[in-house]
Amino acid sequence: MVDVVLQKKSKRRRLTWKKSLLMISIAIVVLVGAALGTAYYLLHKSLPQISGTISLNGLDAEVKVQRDTNGVPHIEAKNMKDLFMAQGFVTAQDRMFQMDLSRRQASGMLSEVIGEKTVQRDRFFRTLGLRRAAEASYNEYSPEAKQYLQWYADGVNTYLKKAKKNNTLPIEFTLVGYEPKKWTPSDSLVIGKYMAFDLGGHWEGQAFRYYLMEKFNREKALDLFPGYPADAPAILDDLKKSGINFEKSFADAYIPDFSNGSNNWVVSGSKTKSGKPLLANDPHLQLGTPSIWYQTQLSAPDYNVSGVIFAGIPGIIVGHNDTIAWGVTNVGPDVQELYVEKRNPKNPNEFQYMANWEKATVINEVIKVKDKPDVNQEVVITRHGPVISEFAHQDKPGEALALQWTALQPSKELEAVIQMNRSKNWEQFEKALQSFHTPAQNFVFASTDGTIAYKANGLIPIRKQKYTSLPVPGWTDEYEWNGYIPWDKLPTMVNPEKGFVATANNKVTDDTYPYHITDSFAQPYREERIVEVLEQNKKFTAKDMQALQFDQYDKQAEELLPILIEQVEKQPLSKSEKEAVSLLKKWNLKDSKNSAAPLIFHKWMEAFSDELFKDEISVEMLKMFDGREQVVDELIRKAYAGKPGPWIKEHGGLVDVTNKSFEHVITELSDQYGNNVSKWKWGTFHKITFEHPLSAIKPLNLLFNPQTEDMGGSRVTVGVAGWDRESGIVTHGGAWKYVIDMADTSNAYHVVGPGQSGHVLSTWYSDQVKDWATGKYHETHTILKDYDDKSILVLKPGSQR
């Protein structure tokens, strides 16, 4: 009887437990569902309004904003005030979180909202002083340009006011836990200064080469120099040993991608099917979500321009109007100089100059840190510029490195942009470039009148002494800048006989050019391939230009692969190595995503470089190795020609380095992808994701990152696709690609990866990922057909109360 009672109680407990478990499960599902529902509600609520009407205080008349089928806003206003105010409002609708992060990064203000993880980055940018340079630049602008900047800021701030009131800010602000502050004209300018930083170049290379001279003997150090004048050893004798701890000083320095550059070319009507010029441009910068580029058409009386701009800046920086088109690539000139400054042992804020001690300017930057005390950052500025060799620590050595850089001076690029947008011919366009100082850019130009032209434009310093690839003494006037290359002496070309102009960050002058530009040009392979195609005897079309922008033929492999294969065949090979060599010999030299050969070749080139440097140069310093790929290419060429340098010789010669690196790569790839070499694929490793800034916080990557696509191309193909060495994720390339036939300037061909919008629920958030990865384009028309009301937004003047 007792057993029966116990069994019944046990059964009741099991039933109760199951019932409780069911209730708990239901409750969890309800809570998760409610949370997801709330999240979706907040996301959906913050979608930009793209139809109907919105009242904006400050407008003088109605503005029509028509988004086309790719989400590109076409803004039509009756005056310039309304045009730029509308541009600010619409850009903020699509990209406000990106805009805020951009100004914070450039200003050294990330820690205020992110926390102590970004303090060192903020220290670096506070020391560099992009914000100070932007504010100084604003004071130099004309009243007209200042007004444009203010109107744009007014549009952004009108959006912010409405979004805060209606609780419709982008969800990223909620997730990070802050609200964006008011937008100012200097915010737009500091984003422009950041782009000059991203493309400015070469101070880190000078510091790296100085480090080489201190750590290695002269022959070994010079083996890694891109160029070295015969009289430079005298500088080294002057500098002696600095005592600067390079690894410590620059461990937290933020170094732009050395691959930042671009392709552009323009083809004369004599070589085109339409009889009018063709122009193509694909600027190469970091890839991410949203795109660094924002595509727009701006239309007002006497102003009609279409193209792209960095989100947060008014106007159009690259694109076309009714009669002209233009494109840009980075010149990459030596516009930065590191000066070794001698510090007064009795006063750390005084530095020697011409036998006197000069007081430096000292600025106390206060870095606000989320949930932590403020950080005080002392910035010391000598006559040459900010001391950057100690931003991360408080050491006061006897010497320091100060940076002189053209972009830290006041400049007026927006003046140039507005004039470029309005120009009708080459003479007007070239005149507009006089105000475009930093970053120095290769401009290509086309006009409906048939003119094609080129100009390497920007401030490029003339030095009293020859450029040395090294820091120079700051205590004497012998190494000062002596003005800039005269504007009318900058490399220029109009209607060349060969019928085209092309640039790909390559050397743009010959040895007869009287001024120094740089020793650190990009590897020549992209330029060689572009010229190879454009020299063909055919009539080109816009489709041909699109195909060339996506071209994946590998000129580096064409040159170097036969040399490498010859070396490995001098020694016994394993079965997998033989299969790999056989496959490489049959390769068509295209970096196709479905081919194994590019995976083997590019991994091999990386391993070759690692074999030389990894045991002798620290990771902290390797990130500052400006032009590393070009240097390694040259080491291989010299060794194959029977003139190996010390880095090759000390590692056993070309045969040993080649074989060790090849063996390492085949072993690594076999472990990762199996022993069947023929089934390896470049695209299995080499993928495009367009990572969102918040994707590092798991699982937000599942929400914000677009779909992943296998990707062809490489760093050296015209269709650029640079990748992270560890993950294989493609992080660098032409986020925006553009082609125009001047026979019809009402239409151009574009692709913006991953898409136009920054809102994750937008139709246009990642709709162009597959097109970008496969070389497809959409057409953007400046004369729009009428769409339904769902694509037309009317901005109306609002009450001034």
pLDDT of res. 575 = 95
What is the pLDDT averaged over residues 516-527? 92
Distance CA 402, CA 196 (A): 18
Per the document, the length of the chain is: 801
Distance CA 188, CA 256 (A): 20
Helix (H, G, I), strand (E, B) or coil at 530: helix
What is the pLDDT averaged over residues 719-726? 95
For residue 662, count CB atoms less than 10 angstroms from its CB and return exposed for 0-12, middle for 13-18, buried for 19 or more.
buried
pLDDT of res. 581 = 98
pLDDT of res. 237 = 66
Q: Are 401 and 384 in contact (CB under 8 A)?
A: no
Q: Are 125 and 107 in contact (CB under 8 A)?
A: yes
7-11, 253-257, 286-290, range with the lowest pLDDT: 7-11
pLDDT per residue as tens digits for the range 734-769: 999 999 999 999 999 999 999 999 999 999 999 999
pLDDT of res. 236 = 65
pLDDT of res. 31 = 44
pLDDT of res. 232 = 56
pLDDT of 36 > 50? The answer is no
Unique residue bearing structure tokens 């005030």: 81
| Helical packing angle, 525-534 and 555-568, nearest 10° | 120
In eight-state DSSP terms, residue 538 is S
Return the structure tokens found at 39. 């999240």
7-16, 306-315, 319-328, 489-498, range with the lowest pLDDT: 7-16
Q: Are 484 and 411 in contact (CB under 8 A)?
A: no
Strands in 497-581 per DSSP E: 500-503
pLDDT of res. 41 = 72
pLDDT of res. 254 = 82
Which helix (H) or strand (E) segment holds residue 711: the answer is none
pLDDT band at 32 (very low <50, low <70, confident <90, very high): very low
pLDDT of 551 > 90? The answer is yes
pLDDT of res. 423 = 98
Distance CA 750, CA 348 (A): 54
Which helix (H) or strand (E) segment holds residue 345: the answer is none
pLDDT of res. 43 = 83
pLDDT per residue as tens digits for the range 302-356: 999 999 999 999 999 999 999 999 999 999 999 999 999 999 999 999 999 999 9
pLDDT band at 247 (very low <50, low <70, confident <90, very high): confident
pLDDT of 214 > 90? The answer is no
pLDDT of 273 > 50? The answer is yes
pLDDT of 22 > 80? The answer is no
pLDDT per residue as tens digits for the range 577-632: 999 999 999 999 999 999 999 999 999 999 999 999 999 999 889 999 988 999 99
Which helix (H) or strand (E) segment holds residue 494: the answer is strand 492-494
Q: Are 442 and 331 in contact (CB under 8 A)?
A: yes
Distance CA 421, CA 302 (A): 10
What is the identity of the amino acid at 204? E
Of 445, 128, 497, 401, residue with least CA distance to 264: 445
For residue 404, count CB atoms less than 10 angstroms from its CB and return exposed for 0-12, middle for 13-18, buried for 19 or more.
buried
What is the pLDDT averaged over residues 435-442? 95
For residue 136, count CB atoms less than 10 angstroms from its CB and return exposed for 0-12, middle for 13-18, buried for 19 or more.
middle
- DSSP string for residues in 569-620: TTS---HHHHHHHHHHHH--SB--TT-SHHHHHHHHHHHHHHHHHTTTS-HH
Domain parsing of the chain, residue ranges: 52-198+787-797, 555-589+596-664
Q: How far is CA 191 from CA 198, 221, 265, 386, 451, in A?
A: 11, 37, 26, 20, 32
pLDDT of res. 35 = 45
Distance CA 764, CA 771 (A): 13
Q: How far is CA 186 from CA 131, 310, 414, 705, in A?
A: 8, 14, 12, 31
| 755 CB-near residues (< 8 Å, 6+ apart) | 71, 290, 291, 706, 762, 764, 765, 766, 767, 768, 769
Q: What is the mean pLDDT of the chain?
A: 92
Distance CA 49, CA 45 (A): 10
Of 43, 7, 105, residue with least CA distance to 704: 43
Q: Are 400 and 343 in contact (CB under 8 A)?
A: yes
pLDDT of 172 > 50? The answer is yes
Which helix (H) or strand (E) segment holds residue 305: the answer is strand 303-310
How many Cα atoms within 13 Å fall on the side-chain side of residue 526?
A: 32
In eight-state DSSP terms, residue 7 is H
pLDDT of res. 181 = 97
* Cβ count near 475 (within 10 Å): 19
What is the pLDDT averaged over residues 57-79? 96
pLDDT of res. 292 = 96
pTM summary value: 0.93
What is the pLDDT averaged over residues 523-537? 97
pLDDT band at 233 (very low <50, low <70, confident <90, very high): low
Helix (H, G, I), strand (E, B) or coil at 111: helix
Task: Please state whether beta strands 293-300 and 73-76 pair in parallel, antiparallel, or not at all (unpaired).
Answer: parallel
pLDDT per residue as tens digits for the range 616-673: 999 889 999 988 999 999 999 999 999 999 999 999 999 999 999 999 999 999 999 9
Q: Are 164 and 156 in contact (CB under 8 A)?
A: no
Bridge partners (DSSP) listed for residue 327: 444
Strands in 331-398 per DSSP E: 336-344, 347-353, 356-359, 361-369, 372-381
pLDDT of res. 40 = 66
* Percent of the chain scoring above 70 in pLDDT: 91
Task: Please give the class, per CATH, of domain 52-198+787-797.
Answer: mainly alpha
Hey, CA dihedral for 299, 303, 307, 313, is it positive or negative?
negative
Of 443, 557, 524, residue with least CA distance to 491: 443
pLDDT of 1 > 90? The answer is no
| 698 CB-near residues (< 8 Å, 6+ apart) | none
pLDDT band at 30 (very low <50, low <70, confident <90, very high): very low
How many Cα atoms within 13 Å fall on the side-chain side of residue 674?
A: 8
